[in-house]
A = this chain, B = another copy of it.
Amino acid sequence: MSDRILSCSAALAEALHEEMSRDETIFILGEDLTAHAGIFGQFKGLPENFPGRIIDTPISETAILGVGLGSALTGMRPFVDLHFSDFVTCCMDELANQTAKIRYMFGGQVNIPMVIWCPDGGGLRAAAQHSQSLEAWFIHTPGLKVVVPSEPADVKGLIKSAIRDDDPVMVFQHKKLFARQGAVPENDFTIPLGRAAIKLEGKDVTLLSYGSGFYLCEEAVKGLGHLNIDAEVVDLRTLKPLDMDTVARSIKKTHRAVIVHEACLTGGFGAELTARIQDELFDYLDAPVKRVAAKDVPIPFSPPLEDYVLPKVSDVVEAARAVTYR
């Protein structure tokens, strides 16, 4: 079947449409969903097509997450919209102490087929409480899977996998990327969780990223080309489970790696990935693994400040230069 150009937002809606048509236990839960098809219009078409299966809630994140969980424990497949990923702080107990632990704690008696969908990221001048990238907290929370798609096709394929997965999956989708366009297959395809994609091949340095970081890398490749540095771009797509095989294959070729993410540097996912790379691939590395990330402050409002804090294409170029010129 042929590909069409869709936005990330439309890819999300299409994935949901296909899955909700297939399985009537799937429903969407969150604040302000029906009037405008989600506050970013991300569920276009769903309120009309699935009345009663896309449910507006009061502003009660704690209960929203808990309701998702309770419904998952009793036969439903909830897709919980957290409005802004920042508000995950308001249901952290339901997420980290309940959802993540219940299957294990109860000896595997029950499955929790639940998606927690979190619009995240900065660049929209939305300031400290509406711009975060919090995936690293959940990498460190056993019992959750973590998915961060970048391109529209990934959105569709990964959302469908996340919905079909019988475990809780957190999906972070960058708010600034909703409008990004890309080719998306028309058919009912899925992208398995835990499989990275080498999206651009190269031999001099491996750029490892996900979500908005992927686009920084994609752009950086051009700049690096001018410097005669041939970069390979790996889009991790799923952070847990992590596709270390693909990472290893690439680094065994390039011997150099730069990790790029929008979350702040200290304690970010880049730390974990660096730790694994230097442990598992020590003898293949010709340079330290470099991390490109946001600076360690909350996201400020003012444009020059926010631009300074968030990672830039030039940071990626710089880091790649540093490890290749070594």
Chain A residues engaging chain B, CB cutoff 8 angstroms: 86-90, 92-93, 95-97, 100-101, 104-105, 127-129, 136-137, 139-140, 142-143, 240, 263-264, 266-272, 274-275, 278-279, 282, 287-291, 296-298, 300
Out of B128, B263, B288, which one reaches A105, CB within 8 Å?
B128
Q: Are A287 and B297 in contact, CB atoms less than 8 angstroms apart?
A: no
Q: How far is the CB of A317 from chain B (nearest CB, A)?
A: 18
Q: Is the interface of A mostly helix, strand, loop or mixed?
A: helix
Out of B86, B270, B275, which one reaches A97, CB within 8 Å?
B86
Q: How far is the CB of A286 from chain B (nearest CB, A)?
A: 10
Q: Are B89 and A101 in contact, CB atoms less than 8 angstroms apart?
A: no
Q: Are A140 and B264 in contact, CB atoms less than 8 angstroms apart?
A: yes
Measured CB to CB, the nearest residue on chain B to A296 is B142
Q: How far is the CA of A268 from the CA of B61 in the complex (A)?
A: 26
Which of A90, A104, A275 is most buried by chain B, counting CB atoms within 10 A of its CB?
A275
Which of A88, A105, A240 is most buried by chain B, counting CB atoms within 10 A of its CB?
A105
Q: Which residues of B contact A291 (CB under 8 A)?
A: 275, 279
Q: Are B101 and A142 in contact, CB atoms less than 8 angstroms apart?
A: no
Q: With A92-B92, A272-B267, A282-B288 as given contacts, are A128 and B140 in contact (CB-CB < 8 Å)?
A: no
Q: How far is the CA of A300 from the CA of B142 in the complex (A)?
A: 12
Q: With A143-B298, A297-B142 as given contacts, are A104 and B92 in contact (CB-CB < 8 Å)?
A: no
A-B contact pairs, 13 of them (CB 8 A): A89-B96, A100-B298, A101-B128, A104-B300, A136-B140, A137-B140, A142-B296, A142-B297, A271-B272, A274-B278, A278-B278, A278-B289, A282-B288
Q: Which residues of B contact A89 (CB under 8 A)?
A: 92-93, 95-97
Q: Are A142 and B271 in contact, CB atoms less than 8 angstroms apart?
A: no
Q: Are B267 and A140 in contact, CB atoms less than 8 angstroms apart?
A: yes
